[in-house]
């Protein structure tokens, strides 16, 4: 390798050309970069989980998870996210087949499931406030709202991103750039579903169990 690149004495200075086209290489590195972002996001959630793990039993004589959480509501929430995951998967498959109409429909369905999830979560928070369980009531509730709302905020941002991509699809169609963006959002969306598994297991199920 090395001696092939060594210019003979007296030769003109070598000229370098960029042989890779922009579009080709960027897909792979974008995916890797986005994956690294997700891993750093994962660390954010890990710190919030650790905080909840430490403070989650400090009720300050206030309400406990058993008093507050309605597991059947959480099961519905979980179902919303799970459905949205598979519908996003279908959108990606239609994108592979270059069928823009179906892609848009499945993305819209995904968005609606996401909206339903966020709506149910906000309704739960409002209900908790009425029950006398605002974030400032106890360390348990502070860490609970921080963790769950951070996840909810991520989902909300995901929905916003989805709407923006639907506009992009409408304007430019299934071009390479839009496909790449859709793949990034796909990873983001499935990642949020993965975090939710941790939330419903550690916060809701284990909370009610104790």
Partner 1 sequence: MSADAHHLSGHGQDTHDPHAHSEGGHGTVKGYVTGFVLSVILTVIPFWLVMGNVLDNSLVTTLVILALGGVQMVVHVVYFLHMSTKSEGGWTFMALIFTITLVAIMLSGSVWVMYHLNHNMMPMDAHDVMNNAR
Binding interface with partner 1 (CB under 8 A): 24, 27-28, 31-32, 35-36, 39, 42-43, 46-47, 49-51, 53-54, 71-72, 75, 78-79, 82, 85-86, 89-90, 92-93, 95-98, 176, 179, 183, 186-187, 190-191, 193-194, 197-198, 200-202, 205-206, 208-210
Paired tokens of 12: 């003109």
Residue number, 78 or 142, with CB nearest to partner 1: 78
Do 140 and 62 meet the contact criterion of CB atoms below 8 Å apart? yes
User: Alpha helix locations (H) across 11-99?
Assistant: 22-55, 65-68, 71-96
By beta-carbon proximity to partner 1, the closer residue of 36 and 157 is 36
Q: Which helix (H) or strand (E) holds 143?
A: helix 139-172
What is the Cα–Cα distance from 123 to 73, expressed in whole angstroms? 10
CA 47 to chain centre: 17
Q: Kindly state the smallest distance separating residue 176's Cβ from partner 1, in Å.
A: 7
Instruction: For partner 1, give the closer residue by CB, 30 or 134.
Output: 30
Query: Which lies closer to partner 1 via its Cβ, residue 53 or residue 134?
Result: 53
Q: How far is the CB of 3 from partner 1 (least distance, A)?
A: 27
Report in angstroms how near the CB of residue 8 gets to partner 1 at its nearest: 34
Least separation in angstroms between CB 139 and partner 1: 11
Q: What is the rounded CA–CA span in Å between residue 179 and residue 174? A: 6
**DSSP structural state of residue 62:** S
Cα-atom radius of gyration of the chain, to the nearest Å? 23
């Amino acid at each position: 390798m090395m001696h092939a690149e060594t210019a003979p004495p007296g030769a003109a200075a070598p000229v370098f050309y960029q042989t890779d086209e922009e579009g080709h290489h960027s897909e792979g590195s974008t995916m890797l970069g986005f994956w690294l972002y997700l891993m750093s996001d994962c660390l954010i959630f890990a710190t919030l989980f650790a905080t909840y793990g430490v403070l989650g039993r400090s009720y300050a004589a206030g309400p406990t998870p058993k008093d507050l959480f309605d597991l059947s509501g959480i099961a519905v929430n979980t179902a919303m996210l799970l459905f949205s995951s598979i519908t996003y998967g279908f959108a990606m498959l239609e994108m592979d087949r270059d069928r823009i109409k179906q892609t848009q429909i499945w993305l819209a369905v995904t968005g609606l499931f996401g909206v339903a999830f966020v709506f149910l979560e906000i309704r739960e928070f409002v209900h908790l406030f009425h029950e006398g369980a605002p974030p400032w009531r106890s360390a348990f509730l502070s860490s609970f709202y921080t963790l769950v709302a951070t996840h909810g905020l991520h989902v909300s941002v995901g929905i916003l991103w989805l709407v923006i991509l639907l506009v992009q699809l409408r304007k430019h169609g299934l071009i390479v750039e839009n496909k790449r963006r859709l793949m990034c959002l796909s990873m983001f969306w499935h990642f949020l579903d993965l975090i939710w598994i941790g939330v419903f297991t550690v916060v809701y199920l284990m909370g009610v169990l104790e």
